[in-house]
Amino acid sequence: MDAWVVGDGARTESLTHFSWHAALHELSLGDLDAVRRRYLQQLQPRHAVGCRALVDTGSLLFRWALTPDAEDVPSLDEVVGISGRDTLERPATPFLALHAAVALLATGDRGGLDRLAAWCDRHDHPTHREVSAPLARALSLLAAGRASVAADRLSQLAPVCWRLGGSDAQREILEEARIAALLRAGRYDDAVLVLDRRLDRRPSPRDRRWRDRAAQQPVAAAAVRPPGSGRPRP
């Protein structure tokens, strides 16, 4: 993929999405130096086309910030600025609503999350009303410091999050937000159970380290801090 991204693939409009896939693989391996290089070379938000800054760069930064041992993760401020308020608070699709909610959480914008939820509540699209709006409210709770309630709300949404669209890899960001919420709430055993299910699906050095941190209980709370309470930090 690396050769294709800088070769024939360099002419494609969705290049950042392929770079996102490669970066996500590097993230799963825990190779944070490789993630940083790819972000700097291929995933800078100003180089993305259309909504790709929000969907690809924004989601990568969010997940990178949650990763154990991550340091100096760039903020999503530029992603938010490029995306604009219309996209963030009045997204055209439930899939964009998912990524808008994540970006608003990462920048601690509770007002934006509340406006997004209210707009989705009034939308004709049933998925906006039934999934996007509750999701925005769940992440608003996390931004407000009500991590345990937020984790439960995200758990309730898990069986229907497929309605938001996108791939399993893209929607997995909600599971990661839930893990971060569980850790913030001190619900370490619940976080370990979620991480064990992830590791049953596929090996991941990142998830293994995350799980080990969660099993250490008090250490995990300091090591893995969810976005929404200031800048995205590990």
- Residue 179 confidence (pLDDT) above 90: yes
What is the band of 123 on the pLDDT scale with cuts at 50, 70, 90? very high
pLDDT band at 9 (very low <50, low <70, confident <90, very high): low
What share of the chain in percent tops pLDDT 70?
A: 88
Top-confidence residue, 8 or 159: 159
**pLDDT mean over 165-185:** 96
Its pTM surpasses 0.85: yes
Q: What is the mean pLDDT of residues 22-27?
A: 96
Rounded to an integer, what distance in angstroms lies between the CA atom of residue 94 and that of residue 218? 36
197-220 burial: b if 16+ Cβ within 10 Å, else e: ebeeeeebebbebbbebbeeeeeb
pLDDT value at residue 232: 40
**How far apart are alpha carbons 217 and 234 in whole angstroms?**
16
For 58, which DSSP code?
A: I
**Using one digit for the tens of pLDDT, what is the confidence trace for 182-204?**
999 999 999 999 999 999 999 99
* In contact, 234 and 224? CB cutoff 8 Å: yes
CA distance 211 to 121: 36
Give the pLDDT confidence of 69-100 residue by residue, as tens digits: 999 999 999 999 999 999 999 999 999 999 99
pLDDT at 18 (0 to 100): 86
In the predicted structure, residue 130 carries a pLDDT above the cut 70: yes
